[in-house]
C-alpha cells in the first residue's frame, strides 16, 4: 500500500483519495458544528444550500459543508434530491451584470460584487442581524431598524412606537427590536414608552419657546383678539433652537449634534395629540 494514500470515511461511504490530489480539500465535506447546525435541526438528513458557494449535507442533524469549486454553484435540483454543486447554475448566483452588487440567492446576509459579466463573484457578509440592500448598496437591519453605530437604546425614527437596542460584539452588533403599547412612543431621555401628548406645548405668555419634541422647532406665542395664539416654526437644516432666557432664544448651528427631542428623530404627526 502506498504511504501517500489516505482513506477518508464519510457518512455516505468510503472514498479513496490521493494525498497529492489538490482537489481533495475542495471536494470533500467537512463537519461544521456552528455556522450551519441550526439549518439541520428540522432536516436531520438532507442536502441543502447555505449560500451560493456552500452546500450542506445534514446527517442526523449534524451539518457537513462542501465549498463548490470554480464555475460551480449550489443549486437545488429535484433530480439530485436537494442541493448540489452544479456547473453554472443557478443564474442568480452568477455575475450577469458588470460593476454590480447581488444578494446571495440563499442567504440575505451575504452579497457578492461583480466586476464584469461572467467574472468570479467576490463574496462578502454583513454583520450579524443585518441583510444586504441592493438599492442602497449597504447592510441594513432585517427588521427595518436603522443600523447600529453606537451602543444604547434608540427610537425608530420611521415608527415612533418602535425602539431598538444595540450591543457591540467583537465583530458587528447585536440588535434587538421592541414595540410600545398602542398610543405610546419611545422616550429616549427617560428610556421608556410614554404618551407624547404629555409634552404638548401650550402658550402661557408671549415669547418664543422650545419644542420639547424636536429641538429644531420652536413655538411663537402672541396675543390676538385678547387671546394667546401659538405658531410652530422650524430652524434651518443643521440648526437647533437655543433658549437664552424664558421666552427668548435663537437658532444656532448644530452640525455635530443631531437635533432630537425626548422622542429622538421620530416624526410625530401634527394632529396626533387631541386639540392640536
Neighbours of 225 (CB within 10 A): 5
Provide the pLDDT confidence category of residue 167 given band limits of 50, 70 and 90. Answer: confident
pLDDT at 57: 92
CB 156 within 8 A of CB 164: yes
User: pTM of the prediction?
Assistant: 0.46
Domain spans of the chain, in order of start: 37-87, 94-142, 145-194, 201-253
Give the closest residue to 8 by CA, choosing from 26, 23, 24, 20. Answer: 24
pLDDT digits (tens, 9 = 90+) for 196-235: 888 778 899 999 999 877 788 899 999 999 899 999 898 9
Report, as an integer, the average pLDDT of 31-38: 62
pLDDT at 265: 66
pLDDT at 275: 57
| DSSP symbols for 147-204 | PP-SSEEEEETTEEEEEEEEEE-SSSEEEEEEEPPTT-EEETTTTEEE-GGGG-----
Question: What is the chain's alpha carbon radius of gyration, rounded to the nearest angstrom?
Answer: 29
CA distances from 261 to 49, 83, 185, 197, 211 (A): 47, 52, 12, 13, 8
d(CA 84, CA 70): 14
Neighbours of 229 (CB within 10 A): 12
pLDDT at 1: 36
Neighbours of 25 (CB within 10 A): 10
pLDDT at 130: 75
What are the grid coordinates assigned to 49, written together? Answer: 444550500
Percent of the chain with pLDDT over 70: 77
What are the grid coordinates assigned to 265, written together? Answer: 428623530
Cα dihedral sign, 262-268-274-276? positive
Provide the pLDDT confidence category of residue 35 given band limits of 50, 70 and 90. Answer: low
β-sheet bridge partners, residue 13: 10
pLDDT at 15: 30
pLDDT averaged over the chain? 78
- Helices (H), ranges, the chain: 24-27
d(CA 110, CA 73): 15
Which residue reads 439530485 in cell numbers? 80
Residue 133: exposure state from Cβ atoms within 10 A (0-12, 13-18, ≥19): middle
Provide the pLDDT confidence category of residue 18 given band limits of 50, 70 and 90. Answer: very low
Amino acid at each position: 500500500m502506498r504511504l501517500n494514500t489516505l482513506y477518508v470515511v464519510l457518512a455516505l461511504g468510503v472514498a479513496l483519495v490521493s494525498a497529492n490530489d489538490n482537489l481533495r480539500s475542495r471536494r470533500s465535506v467537512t463537519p461544521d458544528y456552528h455556522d450551519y447546525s441550526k439549518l439541520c435541526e428540522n432536516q436531520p438528513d438532507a442536502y441543502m444550500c447555505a449560500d451560493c458557494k456552500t452546500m450542506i449535507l445534514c446527517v442526523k442533524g449534524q451539518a457537513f459543508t462542501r465549498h463548490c469549486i470554480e464555475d460551480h454553484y449550489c443549486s437545488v435540483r429535484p433530480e439530485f434530491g436537494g442541493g448540489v454543486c452544479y456547473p453554472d447554475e443557478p443564474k442568480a448566483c452568477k455575475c450577469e451584470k458588470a460593476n454590480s452588487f447581488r444578494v446571495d440567492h440563499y442567504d440575505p446576509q451575504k452579497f457578492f460584487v461583480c466586476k464584469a459579466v461572467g467574472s468570479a463573484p467576490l463574496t462578502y457578509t454583513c454583520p450579524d442581524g443585518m441583510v444586504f440592500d441592493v438599492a442602497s448598496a449597504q447592510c441594513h437591519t432585517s427588521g427595518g431598524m436603522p443600523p447600529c453605530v453606537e451602543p444604547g437604546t434608540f427610537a425608530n425614527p420611521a415608527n415612533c412606537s418602535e425602539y431598538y437596542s444595540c450591543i457591540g460584539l467583537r465583530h458587528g452588533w447585536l440588535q434587538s427590536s421592541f414595540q410600545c403599547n398602542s398610543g405610546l412612543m419611545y422616550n429616549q431621555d427617560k428610556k421608556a414608552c410614554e404618551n407624547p401628548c404629555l409634552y404638548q406645548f401650550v402658550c402661557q405668555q408671549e415669547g418664543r419657546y422650545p419644542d420639547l419634541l424636536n429641538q429644531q422647532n420652536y413655538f411663537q406665542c402672541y396675543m390676538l383678539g385678547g387671546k394667546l395664539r401659538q405658531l410652530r416654526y422650524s430652524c434651518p437644516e443643521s440648526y437647533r433652537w437655543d433658549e437664552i432666557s424664558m421666552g427668548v432664544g435663537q437658532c444656532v448651528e448644530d452640525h455635530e449634534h443631531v437635533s432630537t427631542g425626548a422622542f429622538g428623530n421620530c416624526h410625530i404627526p401634527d394632529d396626533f395629540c387631541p386639540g392640536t
